[in-house]
Each structure stands twice: as C-alpha cells, then as structure tokens.
Homo-oligomer: A and B are copies of this chain.
Amino acid sequence: MKRQKASSLADLSALAGVSISTVSRALADNPLVAVATRDKIKRLAREHDFQINVAARNFRLQRTGAVGVILPLGHEAEQHLTDPFFMSLIAALADALSDRGYDLLLSRVIPSNDQWLKAFVESGKVDGVIIVGQSDQIDVIETVSANYAPLVVWGASIAGYSQLTVGSDNFEGGRLAAQHLLSQGRKRLTFVGNPAVPEFEARFAGFNEAIAQAGAPSGAVLPSHVTPEASYATIRANFKDATVPDGIVAASDVIALSALRAIADLGLRVPDDVAVVGYDDVFIAKQTMPALTTIRQDVVLGAQMMVDLLFRRVAGEKVTSISLQPTLVLRASA
C-alpha cells in the first residue's frame, strides 16, 4: 500500500471521492458533514500525512498568523538585540504568542525615515505589531497608532500620547533606586545613562524626586551610551577627574556592570566606597561581583500583558495602557 503524501485538499478530496469543500469542512469538524464522512477523511488525512497549507488558509482568511516584533534602533543602534533585557522580553513574547498559536516575526529596524512603521503595518505581513522600546520614534508610533489598532508598545505612557503601552513605572523605579541609596546614608548620587531615551528620562526624574523629597543635595547625571564598552569608558573617564559619588543609579544593568568594573579599576570598593543600583534585573545581575542590587522589571508578565492587550484590542475590547510596578531587589552592591 503506497501512501503518497497528500499536499492539498484537492488531493484528499480525490482520495476520499468527495468534494474539496467537504474535505475542508470535515477537517474543521464541521457538523454539516456526516460523522462517517468526517472520520473517513480525517483518517485519510492522517494516513497520507496531510498538512494544511497555512499560507493559503491565512490568505483566504485575510490574516497572517504572525505578529511582528520590532526593535527600533533609534538612539542606540548597538543596543537591544544584544541587551539581555530586550532579549528576555523577546523570549517571553515568543512564548506568549505561541501560546495563542501565533508566530513571531522578528524585525530590527534602523529608522531611516518616518515611513518605516507605516510601511510595515501596511505590508500585510502581520496581524499585529509589538514595538519593543519607543526609542526616539514615539511620534512615528503615535501617528500610525491612530489608524492601526493592533499595535502595542513596550514603553512609557506619556501624557498627550494615546498609543497603547505596557511598561514598568520608570519614574517609580528611579525613585526606588535613589531612595534606597539615600536610606543607606548615601549623599552624593549620580544617575548614569542617557536621559534622551524616554525610559531613562523617567527613571532619572524619579531619581531626582527621591532626592528632592529627602532634602538631599541634588543628584548629578552622567550621560552614557548603553553598550558595555562605551559606558565603561564614560564612567572611568568621568570619575577620574570629577568627585566620585557615593551612590550610583545606572539606567540599565549593563551600565551598572560597567560601573562595577570601572569603580574597581579605579581602586574603589563596591559598596563600601560607591554603592551601585542597576536597572532591569537581567539574568546576569546576580552573577556580578558583588551581586547587583537592582530594580526588577518582570519581563514575563510584561510580555503576557502586551500580547493580551493586543488580542483584546483586536477583538474590539476597549483597553488601556498598563504600568507595571518595578521592585527593588536587594543584593550586595548597594
């Protein structure tokens, strides 16, 4: 008995001696077709290991079965796909999407003009878009978002913008970090990171808020890129010349890691001379020496929220942006 592979409904219909539409319905377990016929067709499908042509089905149903996950590399072309935080967010997104039977179409975009997002959503390649990080593209996102519902952004919900976002409360995170340092008696705090990045700007604002509330001397900011090399160089150079702070809040764990190393290389001790608080709680945070005290963002929850919001919006529900509460994870560095 030769079992040729059936590669279309037409093949199966020929085998079963019924019409294509009956096969289609049978495989969908449509009660319109008699149980006996259904079983027979399903058996044949199994025997000839039939796999439906997903592309054709999706085309007919005017969907794609995929959700685009875009990383705009605006501020920092280097960041993101090497940054452990974004990586684990993507991993969590992949899981959350596949739980719903959707595929993840990964796209790195270096925004060259302001049409990239519009072109992407209109290409019809995906049923929805998740943007990881607003970068400096918040206005582009806002414009598209006005006419395209299935769009969720990992980032901040900013006054005057209506894009649907999921993000952790960066202001609160920054506040928590600074407050912790102040509560340990630290006086001269520095925020390390580029405040032009929206997320970092909010963290910096929270940082300042905590300082103001404590009546402490106002904190400093040391703008820095997010790559390990650049941040290390920035911190090292700056702390050689300027007064070294006794507490650092880093805009990300990767920057914090650089800070740990730079401080050690300058002959200072963490946390004795300088306390360091990171941000993200990426998987290596507990592996640093000393282990990193940091602000934790729950990526798994965040990813689930984004996917959830996306599908609920597609289903027509009225949904609103979500802000997740970050938490302080106490380890050795502060």
Instruction: Please report which residues of chain A, range 72-86, place their CB below 8 angstroms from some CB of chain B when the two chains form the complex.
Output: 81-82, 84
Tell me whether A124 is interfacial, beta carbon within 8 Å: yes
Tell me whether A94 is interfacial, beta carbon within 8 Å: yes
List B contacts of A106 (CB < 8 A): 69, 90, 94, 103-106
List B contacts of A124 (CB < 8 A): 51, 53-56
Tell me whether A287 is interfacial, beta carbon within 8 Å: yes
List B contacts of A254 (CB < 8 A): 284
CA distance A123 to B261 in the complex (A): 49
Tell me whether A238 is interfacial, beta carbon within 8 Å: no
List B contacts of A52 (CB < 8 A): 123
CA distance A257 to B107 in the complex (A): 30
State which size class the interface on A falls in: 35 or more
| Interface contact A81-B94, CB-CB below 8 Å | yes
Tell me whether A155 is interfacial, beta carbon within 8 Å: no
| Interface contact B84-A82, CB-CB below 8 Å | yes
| Interface contact A94-B123, CB-CB below 8 Å | no
Query: What is the minimal beta-carbon distance from A313 to any residue of chain B, in angstroms?
Result: 21
Tell me whether A258 is interfacial, beta carbon within 8 Å: yes
Identity of the chain B residue whose Cβ is nearest the Cβ of A93 in the assembled complex = B106
Tell me whether A163 is interfacial, beta carbon within 8 Å: no
Tell me whether A58 is interfacial, beta carbon within 8 Å: yes
Instruction: Please report which residues of chain A, range 199-236, place their CB below 8 angstroms from some CB of chain B when the two chains form the complex.
Output: 227-229, 232
Query: What is the minimal beta-carbon distance from A131 to any residue of chain B, in angstroms?
Result: 15
17 A-B pairs with C-beta separation under 8 A = A51-B122, A51-B123, A52-B123, A81-B87, A81-B91, A82-B88, A82-B283, A87-B87, A91-B108, A94-B108, A104-B107, A105-B105, A228-B283, A228-B284, A229-B286, A258-B287, A284-B284
Binding site for B on A (CB under 8 A): 49, 51-56, 58-59, 64-66, 69, 81-82, 84, 87-88, 90-91, 94-95, 98, 103-108, 119, 122-125, 227-229, 232, 254, 257-258, 260-261, 264, 283-284, 286-289
